[in-house]
Amino acid sequence: MKIYIVDDDKNICSILKQIISERQLGEICGMSDNGRDALEDVPLLKPDIVIADLLMPELDGITFAEKIKKISPDVSVIMLSQVDNKEMVSKAYESGIEFYVHKPVNSIEIESVLKNVEAGRTMKKLIAKAQDLFSNDNIPSSAAVSDTQAKSRTGKAYMQRLRGILQGIGISGESGSKDIISIIEYLMDNDMDVSDSTLNDLCGRLHRNPKSVEQRIRRAAFSGMVNLANKGLEDYADPVFNEYSGRLYNFEQIRKEMNYIRGRSEKHGNVRIRNFLTGLLSYCREA
């Protein structure tokens, strides 16, 4: 893996460089002490992973993560910080980062996180290859393909991916999974985002009683979070856990659910349905 480091603390940069080199975790392709320079470097150097500090001069880590994900959407961002504020951590995950690592830097944690990110990236590539094979098998031999046929193939591709995700997080058998599929299909067909309508309106397009639809979706999404939390407890490097826990759910809530399962907390993690649906929609648009 190619790794880029952006941190204004030279000691942290040196420590990270040493850990990555000694443990053979990848190749350092570049370094910067501020986010603005990193925004210019990353598209040129094309690293697989960017390790960024939260509190940086000129451009904070969260804003940097948001900008770099738009410029280079395939890059994986790991955030470093001494800040242990739940709201700040939540904002960091919402900006698109993969992991939030607390300072001081721990070599074992850095190694674990980098290997988890690598496993997640490998899983994405395998999924993409499978989708390419599926698409190629369905391309007609004729050179001329109508727009209708092209749209049909695209529809099959995103629907296959959606069903695969629901199966991956263990909720394909839930009654709410049909409602989830219907909502995502409606949004895809009408080129809409989840934010373009209220959840009640979206559910109302499927049934006279939108509350019952929302409850089914909520139950299914919660079951998915529980399933992922259990996967994380069994194996923190589980590729399904790493792929979906941060993108479909708030990672802090996944951790909260893991603590509940362990018996360390009396409260379950919470599911944000709009974020869950937005995450599924983004996967479908990548198909």
Specify the higher pLDDT residue, 36 or 136: 36
Spatial neighbors of 153 by CB under 8 A, at least 6 apart, are 135, 138, 139
- The predicted-structure confidence for 71-103, as pLDDT tens digits, reads as follows 998 899 999 988 878 788 888 888 888 888 888
Residue pair 74/27 in contact (Cβ under 8 Å)? The answer is: no
Domain ranges in the chain are 2-121, 142-286
The CATH T-level fold of domain 2-121 is Rossmann fold (3.40.50)
Q: How far is CA 180 from CA 24, 127, 173, 204, 278, in A?
A: 42, 21, 12, 13, 11
Residue 133 CA to residue 224 CA, distance in Å, equals 28
pLDDT at 129: 67
> Is residue 52 very low, low, confident or very high in pLDDT (cuts 50, 70, 90)?
very high
> Is residue 131 very low, low, confident or very high in pLDDT (cuts 50, 70, 90)?
low
- The predicted-structure confidence for 153-173, as pLDDT tens digits, reads as follows 344 578 888 988 998 898 988
Residue pair 124/116 in contact (Cβ under 8 Å)? The answer is: no
pTM for this predicted structure: 0.51
